[in-house]
Structure 1
Amino acid sequence: MKARLTPAGLVIGGRRMPVQIGRSGLRRDKREGDGATPVGALRIVGLLWRADRLPRPAPWARAIGPRDLWCDASGHPEYNHPVRAPFPASHERMRRADPLYDIVLLTDWNFPDAKPGRGSAIFVHQRRRLGFPTAGCIALRRADLIRVARMLRPGDVIEVPMLASHRGARRRDVTV
């Protein structure tokens, strides 16, 4: 199955769902920390979920444990890969206090053969609130995220084209 980002939202299986993208809009030349959502075909490579908060969204989902992290240290050999605590290099906690990572679709952006500085942790996850951009991920309402997690499988693609209205940081409100 394919999903596609459009000016009207994420379109998948004939449904359109509103999304949030990176605070810096869309970029072809994604770099670590730039706040942009990368343009391209983002292949789904995994699905994580908080088993202590909600039922398994799909049979292939893997539970997020308390020691699960994601390395975002550009010069580290584990850059843009899952790691376990304790981990000395810069990382993101996958088991967050807020609900943003209760369900996480992992993409193949700069993975598994990560190039230093090209960007890490480009996920599809729950949005914070309407109009609040991400650090580069794609974020959906919880109900829509659960629906997408049930529809997509490993190897499916989310197409992110360059949308004229979302180039660079020209718009603060990056809701599409």
Structure 2
Amino acid sequence: MRTYEKRGNKWVQVHKSAAVIGKNGLSSSKKEGDGRTPVGLFSIGESFGFASKPANLKMRYTQTNNYHYWIDDPTSPDYNKWIYYRGNPNKRWKSYERMNHYLYKYAVIINYNRNPIIKGKGSAIFLHRWRQSTSPTAGCVALSEKQLLNVMRWIAPSKQPKIIIGDQSSILTQLKARNTPAK
């Protein structure tokens, strides 16, 4: 993973770290449960985690608990939404993720399939901490906890941050399409 910021008319690399992606690689046609990380340009949403808010964070942060869920049940009207619910989740949804999961000590929402939400196209795509550097995700992007916190502290919502996910060729194509060469 590399992060860039625009200085004048040039894109300058700020961070570089190892990252892991979905166990089945990248996909430009992601589907729910395929184990792939979606390719494309996406806005960055808010941050969350079961731990207390990290110091020096500029973005909105929600400390999660047992009542926070992300719904990955394509038959539900709540599909690909973050829901706070105090009832029995098994009676409401066929599939969901608890937002206080071990990997979500700290995390950032990647706004994939959010506006509009297309059922079955994939859900719950986050930037979160990894199990280890050799363990892929179910479709998210994961970093070491230290690097994740560095990136989270660097993100400035006022600058309308984006994430481009892909291989080198697809990332360069995205940048060229926006006429914004990286240096």
TM-score, length-scaled by structure 2: 0.77
Structure 2 residue aligned with 1:63: 63
How far residue 93 of structure 1 moved from its aligned partner, in angstroms, is 0.3
d(CA) in 2 for partners of 1:126 and 1:156?
19
Q: Secondary structure at the match of 2:153?
A: helix
Residue 12, structure 1, aligned to residue 3, structure 2: yes
d(CA) in 2 for partners of 1:62 and 1:161?
28
Identical-residue share of aligned pairs (%): 32
Task: Decide which structure has greater helix share.
Answer: 2
Structure 1 residue aligned with 2:37: 37
Residue 135, structure 1, aligned to residue 138, structure 2: yes
Higher relative contact order (CA 8 A, sep 6+): 1
Gaps of 5+ in 2: 5-12, 170-183
Counterpart contact for 2:49–2:100, Cα < 8 Å: no
Could you list the structure 1 runs, at least 4 aligned residues long, displaced by more than 6 angstroms after superposition.
Answer: none
Partner letter of residue 93 of structure 1?
R
Structure 1 residue aligned with 2:150: 147
TM-score, length-scaled by structure 1: 0.80
Flag the structure with larger Rg.
2
d(CA) in 2 for partners of 1:123 and 1:29?
17
Residue 102, structure 1, aligned to residue 93, structure 2: no
Q: Deviations over 1:115-137 (max 9, x none)?
A: 01000000000001111000000
Structure 1 residue aligned with 2:176: none
d(CA) in 1 for partners of 2:127 and 2:56?
14
d(CA) in 2 for partners of 1:83 and 1:61?
15
Aligned residues: 152
C-alpha RMSD of the superposition: 1.7
Gaps of 5+ in 1: 1-9, 165-176
